[in-house]
Every structure is written in C-alpha cells, then in structure tokens.
Structure 1
C-alpha cells in the first residue's frame, strides 16, 4: 500500500467522531478513577559523608587532581549498602512494632491478619519481632510459623520489596550529601522511615568502619613490631661483625702478602713459558725453510742425491717423533740417547749425500746442513727450557684467591646491606601505620545534616494523568487507524489504482445512484450535484480518448476486472458523450442489456439489431447518432461464428460507416471472450469500481492488459463524491 498523507487524512475523516469521542471518554474515566486517590506525602533526609572533602585534601597533599571515579565508587558503595536487605529488614521490624504498640495511632490501617490477633497473641508477635530486631535476623516466607510474621509485614506493605519501591536513595548532584526520600499516604510514616533508615545506617556504618580500622591498625602494629625487632637484630650483627673483623685484621694482612707473592711468581713463570713457546715456534719455522731448500725447492740444490735426501727426510720425521716423546716422558735419558743416535745417522747420510753432489753446489749444501744442525740443537735446548718452566709452575701451585680479609669484607658489606633493607621495610610499615592511624581519625564520618519532617501533601497529578490518558488514547487510536489503513487493500482513489496496477489511469467517473437515464443526466442544468460531476468526468474522459484514438483508430473496447463494475453503463455514457459531439457512434453490447432503452428511452426491442446478423448480411440501420448492435450471448466464441478474415472485413465496414465503434467486452471472468474481442479493437480501456480490491489472482488479467499494444489505461467508476463545486 502506497502511504499517501492526503488519502490517510481523507480516511480519518470517516472516523472523526471516534477520534473525538474516545479520547474524551478516556479523560472522563481517568478523572473518575484519580479523584478518589489518597494524597501523597514526601519526606527526605540529608546525610553528609565527607568523601569529597577527604579525597580532595588527600589529592592536594600529593599534588594531584581528585579521582572522580574513586569518589563515585565510594558513593555507589554507600548507596548499595543502604538498600541491602538487612538494612531494610531492620526498618520493617521497627515499623510493624510501632503499629503494634500504638493501636490508636498506627502508620497504616491494620490488616485482617492483625485485627484477628487477640491481645495475648499480639504480645507474642511483638516479642517475636523484638527478638528478631535485636538479633538482626532476616525474614522470609519460611518464617511464617504459628503467627505468620512475614505475611503480617507484607499485609502492611512493610516488607523489603514494598518499601524499596517507595524509597529513593541518591547522591545529591555532585555534592558530598546523600538524599533519602520516602513517599507514602501518611506524613508521619514518611518522616519515620527516612529518619530511622538514615540513623540506623549511620550507626551501622560507623561501627563497621571503626571495627575495620581497628583490625587494620592491629595488623599493622604487629607488622611494625616484627620489622623493628628484625632491624635491631640486623644492626647488632653488623656491630659484632665489625669488632671481630678488627681483631683478626693483622693476621689476615700477612696471609694476604703471602698470597700476593705466590701470584707474582706464577705471573713471572707464565711470562717465561710464553717466551719459550714463541722461541720454539720461530726455530721450527727456520727449520722448515732450510729443509725446503735442501729438498731442492726454489732451485737451491740439484736432485742428484735423491735417495740420500729421502732417507734424510725419513730420519727427520723419526727425530721429530723422538723429540716429542722426550718432552712427553719428562726428559728421560733413554729418549735422549735415541735422539743422539738418530742425529749421528742423519749426519752420516748428509756427508754421503754431500760427496755425491756437484762440486759447484757442495759448499752451499754444507752451509745449509750446518745451519740445520745448529737450529735442531737450539730447538732441543728450547724445549728442554720449556719443560723446566712448566715443572717450576707445577711446583709453585695455582694462583691464590681472595684473602680472608676480602671474604670478611664481603660478609661485612652483606650484613650492612641487609641491615639497610630491614630499616627501609620498618620505615614503610611505619608509614602505613601512620596513614591508617590518621584515616581512623579523619575517615568517612557520616552525619545526619537534615532530618526528615512531616510535610504537606504533594501537588495533585490528576490533570497530568488526565492529559496523559487523553493524548495516549488519541495516539493509540490514530496508530490503530493507520495500521488498518496500511493493511487495507481496498482501492478507492485513482492514485491507489495506478500504484497497484503500475498502469496509467485515464480518469474517474462518480457514482450517481439508481437513476441512470442518460437524457435526464445530460438535460440537468444544476452545477453542484452528482449529475454535473458525472458529465464533467465523461467530458474529460472523452477529450483524452478522442486525442488518443485520432482519426485512424475507431474501435474502442471496454472491459473490466469483475462483473457488475459499471462497465456497460460507462460504455453507454461514452456513446452518448461522443454523440453529443456530433459523431456517429456504434455501440456493440450483450443481447438482453437495457442499454438500448437507456439510450433511446424506448422499450421497443424490435428496433434493436443483432451483431451476428450484421456479419451475415453486412447491412446496418443507422438510428440518429447512436446505433446499437446486440451480441448473442448464446455463442461462447466470436471466432466460432466467422473466420478472422470475415470478422476483419466486417469491422472494416463498421469503421467506414461510423466515426467511433464502442465494444462492451466481457470482464476478466470470461477471459477467452476478452482475448477474442481484443483482436479486433484498435484501443481498449478497463473499468474498475472504487472500493474493490485487486487480489493476487487478478494480477494475471492486469499483466495481460499491460502486454496489449492497444491498451491505454484504466477508468475508475463509482467514485463517491459528496459535493462538487
């Protein structure tokens, strides 16, 4: 449904009396209900907390801004504590005890449960409530014993749920105060509730805070004593350690000197060992170079004595192994004798090899051999010296570590460090103790700044309730009408028809009642009745159709969605309207229709002509401006009468004879007839009765019309028009 504000307002106009009467009725009923309501009395107390001031001063001392979140958190804790079940239950006990002990002036009228109690039973109930009050016991339906204590509280609306509905506990803006408010039918009751609840909570919170602070101070005091004792023990240990260290310092200094001397000798021996290793490395390098020259590398010597040289190399390898064995075995004499034997063999081979060389190189080779022998002797001497140095290092022993003086000095420093840490821990605990002691004296101290007093009744809200009742009922009614309007599928305006079918609407024709004599309608000269509106609508539709049809399109088919939508009467009216323009009009309609009588104003059926006879004779009698051809409804199909060529030829004769041919086609309920007649119509329109619905199954016909090239739009018929100026 397309929601159109204009259509909705028009729809509301049909229910204007409901829209007026229902809100007025609701206002009257509300007045009757609220005029007897009891007056309400409100009382409130103001509790000072000191939270804001305390945290602000603490923040200034620490040079920072106040923590608003912490302030809100503390206020939230206080508000929740005041609304706990324990606090409200204590209030409930005091309220019911007041009423039971003061039967002449109770806060609330006695319920049936209380009036049924005998004096002895009432005394028993009072003692039971006093016992529960002193023990601060909670109450629940399980406590409904012989005297149904919980039900007595609930009957007087003194149970925790009933009281919390009327108690309002909140922080007063951003201030340091808590506002407690209670509203009831009795001013004394309101004052009693807020004062009792506030005083009881102040006493409870003060005792709780004091107990908590005392416990905290006791714990901190114990910790402070323990840390003090520990600090004194550490300081005494430091003093004793200093005295003992002074007594043994002289002997420890001698031991330190001996340790330094040993370390110095070890350093000197290690330096000598390093020099010997360097000397051995250089001698071995020189020997490698001389051996290379003796082997002929670099062109120093010829290779004539190859055999002797190979033997010399083998002896050199054995000498190297013997020297290594001599060192590893701690310079044994047997290893030394083996080295000397190998040296003699090597010398003999060298001499033999030297005699075989060319006389030109003999001197050079002997020089190299002499240098080699000298280096080998130096190498053996250096290795012997290295062995002696290593033996000396083993005799001296390892380096000495820290002396006893250093160890005692480290122990002394450790004791001093532990004493300092112990002193710091004592100072931290002392600071916490001082802060807790200060908070215990300047903590959150609740105080009743402004007590609750019985006051005058609250301003009446009767007019507010009445206004709310009237406005809410009006909006609910409008919403209901809007919902009905949106869900209503009835099409009553051309705009709705165009939106629903997605097709053009050419115009509309109003409803004119039962009198359908066209001559009476057209001869009426009134300007503000339904006949004048009907004629104007037909004239407007005639202009649009005449413009669309033109001179070459003469056959206009008129169909409808359903039967009885005024299709035939509209065909008759259009025929009369075109005839008023001076055109010769042919109207083809169903046989038996009274359209002939309406047009000609005669009951003589003999003057009517039959369309089927025309198809046979191809003759037609023209009567004035309007000629009628009746269709025989006994034939179910137009194409079964004649073939399509004959039918086309017949319609060509009609087009040549008349200015316009209007065919009253069947509705969508005779779909096959609509399709057959549409084949011979140049243009076509469809009639829709205002107030009908286009159902889901009707969209098949609507889609069919949209596919027809000659379909030009819809005409809405029987539109209700109350007054046309």
Structure 2
C-alpha cells in the first residue's frame, strides 16, 4: 500500500474534497454571523503558598516545599473553588439579581416571564435561605425543583456556569486566575467576583474552624499531660517522705565507699594476722618445753598486767572500728600500746638468769607478736561486723531504689509527652494567628469584547470538514483490498501477469463495432495493449496453437479479450478459429451468428468442414445446459482439435468461468496455454482460493493474468 496510491484516490475524489468543505464554510457562516460578542472578566487570588513574605512566622527551616507538594496544594485550592456549593452560590446570586434589579444580566426566559409577584417573592425567600445556609436546591421539593428549572431556563445553573468558567494557576506564580466568559461584561465580572469572595469566605471559615478545633484539642492535651506529670511527681515526693529517703544515689554511694574502705582494712588486717602467726610459729620452734615453762613461771605476775592491758586495747580497738575509725579513739589506743610496751619491757627485765637467758629477746618479740596478732584478729571481727551492717543497709535501699527509678521513669515519659504537646500547641497557636494567606488581589471588572472568533470558526469548520473527508477516504483506502493495478494482482495471487487492458469509456460495448474506423481514436490505447498481449502469447505458445481464455467469475471480460485477440491475429495474416465454449453465456455466438456449432462439429458431422474457410472463423454453441465431454468423448474431441490445428494458425477458446467447475476445466484439457481475465476493482474471495490453487497446478499451461479495466495512464 503506497502513499502515491492514496494521493490518486484523493485526486479521484477532488470534487468531493472541494464541495464538502465549501458547503461547510457556507453553513458555518450563516450559523455564526448572528452570534453575540463575548466578554471575559478575570480576577487574581494570592494563595500565599509560594510567597515567602507570608511565611515569616511559620517558615519551614528545612526549606521550601517540593514542586509536587506545591502542585498538590494548588490543585486542592482549585478543586475547592469548583465545589458545587460555591457554584450554587453564584446561581442564587445571579437569579436574585435578575429578580430584583431593573437591569437584569440576561433577557428573561419564557419561564421567568410567567412568574407573578407572589411567585417572585417566594423564589427570593427560598434563594436567600439556601444562600445563607450554603444548601443545594432539592429536586424532591416542588418549589425548589421549580427554581432548578428556572435556573436552567436562564442558563444560571451549575452545568452552564462551569462551561464558561476557567480556574487555573498562573504558571509557577503564587496566584490563581479566575475568569468567566459571557455575552454581558457585567455578568462576567459579577460571576468572577462572587466566586472569589465566596471561596475566600468559605476557605477562611473552614481553616479557622479546623485551627480552633486543633488548638482546643491541644490545650486540653497539654492540661492533661501537665496534670499527669504533677501527679507522678507528687507520688515520688510522698514515697520518699514516707520511707525517709533523702537522696538514694548519695546514700548508696556513701555505703559503697564505706564498704570499699572496710574491705581494704580487712585485707590489711588479714595480712598482719597472717604475718604475726608465721612469726610466732617461727619463734615457738626455737624454744624447748622446759625453758618455756621456766619463763612462764617467772613472769606470771607481769603477764597478768599485760593481759589486762591487752583486753582494754581490744575493747578500744573494737570501738575505733565501729566508729568508722573515728580519730578521737586514736590517742587512747596509742596510749594503751605504749603502756603495753612498758609492761612487756618489765616482763623482760624480770627474767631469772639461767643457762637459757640468751633467749630473752625472743620471748619479748613473741609476746609483742601475740599482742599484734590479737589486735588484728579482733580488728577483722569488728570489720566483718561493720561490713554486715553496711550490706544490710545497702540491701534495704535496693527495693526503694527500684521503686524510685520506676517513679522517675514515669515522670520522664510524662515530662516528654508534656513537652511535645506544649511544643505542638505553641506551633499550632502561632500558625493559627497567621494562617489565612488567601486574599483577592485583583477584582474582576467589566472589559471590552473579545476579538471576534467568527472568521476563525468558519475557517475551522472548513478545515475540519476537509480533514474529516480525508480521514474517511483514507479509511476507505486503507481497508480497501480490491485489486486496481497489475502489481497488486500478482501479489495477491502469486501467479504471473501477461498484460492488462484499459477501461473503454462510453455506454454498453458493441463488439461488432469494436474495431470500426469511427472508434479508432477511442480504441487506440486498447489496440496497443492487445498487440502487447498478442506478442506475449506468441512467446508463451512457442508453436502451439490452442489458447484458452477463462476467468474466476462471469462478466470479467473474457469475450472482449477473445474477440480482440482473434481480430489482432487476423491483422498479421493468421488464420484464426474462435470457439465459443461458454454454454452458459454464449455472447460470441449471439454476436457473430456463426454457422458452425460446437455441439455439431464435435459430434463427427463432416458436413460442417466446408464452412471453415475465411480468415476468422467462429464456432458457436446453442447455449444449452451441456458440457463439452457430454457432446463427445475426450479422444474424439482431441482428434478434432488435431484436425483444426492443421487448418488454423491459432485457435482461441472462450471457456466458462472457473466458478462453473468442470464446464471450464473440460475445455482446459485440450488447451496448450491458458489465459485468465481478472476485472479490476474486485477482491479475491475465499471461495476463489481453490481456483487459484488449480491454476498453479497446471504444470506450466497457465501463461498469466490479463487485468481488465485497469486504471493506468495513457502512455500512447
């Protein structure tokens, strides 16, 4: 499917492409010449969404909102302006104006003219009530439904207002433009200003109500969180008073420090005890039993004094440990140690001289070590007792600490909740004071009439009709699967093409006058195409003589081609026999009025031989319901054809179409070559697929197609 073919279709229908747009332009002119002038009024509303100067108190520290968020905000505002309740406000005000003002915006409709004073008063009452409450008119109430009909008759209803109303954001600015187009400049300005004011009032009221609800909610929330925080704080305070707790952390820290100190002292005392025990054991090994008995007997009275002093020192040391090593006991302990040392020296001085007197120093050391051992031993006992008391005090603080920590954790959570609620309250309260940023910055005013669009509409009507015609022709061309050119026939059938014939203009074709002199100019191209086909047939026959002309259906041009070929061959001094084998439609027989017929010749009737004498002879048929093989058997018919081949240079047979099944195929048995005529502007039918397959399986007998009535240029 080539573009050039489509242009051919357009050129073929050029008259249609001229007449239809011209008629459309004329009709459009009469339709639009009486159209009233149109007036457009516009207003601008500042939203404060993009304007940073309106966000000084609530400026977002993270930066301005993203483009998508801005688009969502503007879309939300525009959709609010398109709400039915706001458009209804315009309808109510327009109708109230026309009912009360002596200069209405529009000429009263028929329904408006029928209203009496009482009906007008009732209508005004209902409209004013609905306007004040922002309510729609009910279709179920008779009076209100009548007002709906009245609004529609005046074209003040919601649907008609929306048709001429335009609301859009001005590019990337902070402004929203509202415009309305009508036949009255005052009406356009009125609609825009009413919608703008109603939108601002509705939006302001809605935002304020939402903000007040949010502030009230947050005020109650802050109060509840503060009361919860105070309650938990008082609970902790009362618990500490009840259990005598000042500061658990300091108390536990003090106990821990004392415990660590006592542990250190205990380790030191245990180290002293172990060293003293070792030293005493070493000294005891140096004494024998007799000497020890002697020493103990001689110093008995001094030992008693030492024992008393040791007991006093033990008691004082115990007090010193219990008092957490209070320094005031230190002097007394030092005094007792000095007395004990003096008593030990006296004991050493009173030793009785004997052979063992050299060991007096060891005795004194042993006694001193025993005293130190006893001091360390008693000190460890006192420290263990003090550690036991400290552990008991620490264990007593553990449940208090857990309870206090629970109180403190709850207080921390309550404090955070209170702080968050207070922050949100402050932010919301601050924003509510500066939240309404939508304002009308430019009111709509009556303006001059818009430039006339009548000429544009007329031209547009013509262009649209032309485009529509082109589209329709293209659809016809695109879905048209008929064959118009030789190449299309070859592509559709897969069989070769031998030639084509042009369309012969005029009325019905008289075959007897087809080659007359008076038709010479008319038939010039046709005769040249016949000559071309004749040449191609000669190349195909290659000495053979029997040529069959068939087609897929009736009335495709077989008769014209057969007669034309016969006449063309006679022009080159060929002796031609034209056989009319189409029993169903014997056009050749009816035209030529032959004396010899197929039914007689192929019945072996020798009387008919002498009739075949001129250059062109025609063998017709009687047009009966009969087939060739019903006339005679195949062998006899073949012998007859052999006799004809001797007498004639070329034998042309017009057969019935292939749609007649065997009636055509019986003739094709005796043909050397076969031509098939196909009329252009037809498509290949599904039922003809079998006939095409038959032609392909003729083993070279099929020479090719002759496309009849082809739409080709005159090249001669």
Question: TM-score, normalising length from structure 1?
Answer: 0.69
| Per-residue deviation, 1:82 | 2.0
Indicate whether 1:405 and 2:397 are aligned: yes
CA contact (8 A) 1:609 1:628 kept: no
What's 1:346 paired with? none
Query: Higher mean Cα deviation, 187-196 or 603-612?
Result: 603-612
Partner Cα separation in structure 2 for residue 147 and residue 703 of structure 1? 74
Indicate whether 1:660 and 2:640 are aligned: no
What does residue range 363-374 of structure 1 map to in structure 2 within 5 Å?
none
What does residue range 54-93 of structure 1 map to in structure 2 within 5 Å?
61-93=60-92
| Per-residue deviation, 1:32 | 0.7
What does residue range 303-318 of structure 1 map to in structure 2 within 5 Å?
none
Deviations 1:556-600 (A, max 9, x none): 11223445544344223222322333434333346998969999x
Q: Which of 651, 660, 671 is the aligned partner of 1:681? A: 671
Q: Which of 498, 520, 529 is the aligned partner of 1:506? A: 498
Partner Cα separation in structure 1 for residue 246 and residue 710 of structure 2? 128
Partner Cα separation in structure 2 for residue 684 and residue 115 of structure 1? 86
What's 1:280 paired with? none
What's 2:286 paired with? none
Deviations 1:169-216 (A, max 9, x none): 222222222211111111111111111221222223223323332332
What does residue range 207-356 of structure 1 map to in structure 2 within 5 Å?
207-236=205-234, 238=236, 244-246=244-246
What's the secondary structure of 2:181's corresponding residue?
A: strand
Partner Cα separation in structure 2 for residue 136 and residue 563 of structure 1? 79
Q: Which of 150, 154, 157 is the aligned partner of 1:156? A: 154
What's 1:97 paired with? 96
Change (3 A) 1:555 1:438: same
Deviations 1:496-546 (A, max 9, x none): 54455443332123455645457954x6896xx222212201110011111
| Per-residue deviation, 1:723 | 5.8
CA contact (8 A) 2:87 2:195 kept: yes
Q: Which of 175, 193, 201 is the aligned partner of 1:203? A: 201
What's the secondary structure of 2:495's corresponding residue?
A: coil
CA contact (8 A) 2:485 2:711 kept: no
What's the secondary structure of 2:178's corresponding residue?
A: strand
What's 1:585 paired with? 576
Partner Cα separation in structure 2 for residue 401 and residue 589 of structure 1? 140
CA contact (8 A) 1:43 1:194 kept: yes
What does residue range 255-654 of structure 1 map to in structure 2 within 5 Å?
403-484=395-476, 492-512=484-504, 514=509, 516-517=511-512, 520-521=515-516, 529-551=521-543, 553-589=544-580, 611-612=601-602, 616=606, 623=613, 625-630=615-620, 636-654=626-644
| Per-residue deviation, 1:239 | 5.2
Change (3 A) 1:172 1:626: same
Query: Higher mean Cα deviation, 502-511 or 55-64?
Result: 55-64
What's the secondary structure of 2:655's corresponding residue?
A: strand
What's the secondary structure of 2:78's corresponding residue?
A: helix
Q: Which of 150, 158, 173 is the aligned partner of 1:175? A: 173
| Per-residue deviation, 1:679 | 1.4
What's the secondary structure of 1:420's corresponding residue?
A: helix
Deviations 1:394-444 (A, max 9, x none): xx9xx9796212333343444344433333333222211221121012224
CA contact (8 A) 1:596 1:608 kept: no
Change (3 A) 1:650 1:214: closer
Change (3 A) 1:549 1:213: same
CA contact (8 A) 1:206 1:445 kept: no
Change (3 A) 1:661 1:447: same
What's 2:130 paired with? 132
CA contact (8 A) 2:503 2:710 kept: yes
CA contact (8 A) 1:609 1:629 kept: no
Superposition RMSD in Å: 4.4
CA contact (8 A) 1:530 1:724 kept: no
| Per-residue deviation, 1:114 | 3.1
Q: Which of 172, 188, 205 is the aligned partner of 1:190? A: 188
Partner Cα separation in structure 1 for residue 146 and residue 589 of structure 2? 94
Change (3 A) 1:58 1:654: farther
What's 1:327 paired with? none
Change (3 A) 1:547 1:147: closer
What's the secondary structure of 2:106's corresponding residue?
A: coil
Partner Cα separation in structure 2 for residue 5 and residue 67 of structure 1? 50
CA contact (8 A) 2:594 2:619 kept: no
Change (3 A) 1:86 1:405: same
| Per-residue deviation, 1:27 | 1.0
Partner Cα separation in structure 2 for residue 532 and residue 613 of structure 1? 41
What's 2:142 paired with? 144
Deviations 1:83-127 (A, max 9, x none): 22222222322222222221x211122223333333344334323
What's 1:22 paired with? 20
Q: Which of 14, 29, 50 is the aligned partner of 1:52? A: 50
Change (3 A) 1:105 1:643: closer
CA contact (8 A) 2:562 2:654 kept: yes
What's 1:370 paired with? none
User: Structure 2 stretches of 5 or more lacking a match?
Assistant: 263-387
Count of aligned residue pairs for this structure pair: 582
What's the secondary structure of 1:245's corresponding residue?
A: coil
What's the secondary structure of 2:398's corresponding residue?
A: helix
What's 1:305 paired with? none
Indicate whether 1:41 and 2:39 are aligned: yes
Q: Which of 680, 691, 695 is the aligned partner of 1:705? A: 695
| Per-residue deviation, 1:661 | 2.5
CA contact (8 A) 2:58 2:430 kept: no
Change (3 A) 1:433 1:80: same
Change (3 A) 1:401 1:700: farther
Change (3 A) 1:616 1:130: same
Change (3 A) 1:38 1:144: farther
CA contact (8 A) 1:143 1:150 kept: no
Partner Cα separation in structure 2 for residue 223 and residue 717 of structure 1? 96
What's the secondary structure of 1:445's corresponding residue?
A: coil
CA contact (8 A) 1:35 1:462 kept: yes
Change (3 A) 1:105 1:717: same
User: Structure 1 stretches of 5 or more lacking a match?
Assistant: 262-395
Query: Higher mean Cα deviation, 449-458 or 49-58?
Result: 49-58
CA contact (8 A) 2:596 2:611 kept: no
Change (3 A) 1:436 1:636: closer
| Per-residue deviation, 1:135 | 3.4
CA contact (8 A) 1:586 1:661 kept: yes
Indicate whether 1:109 and 2:99 are aligned: no
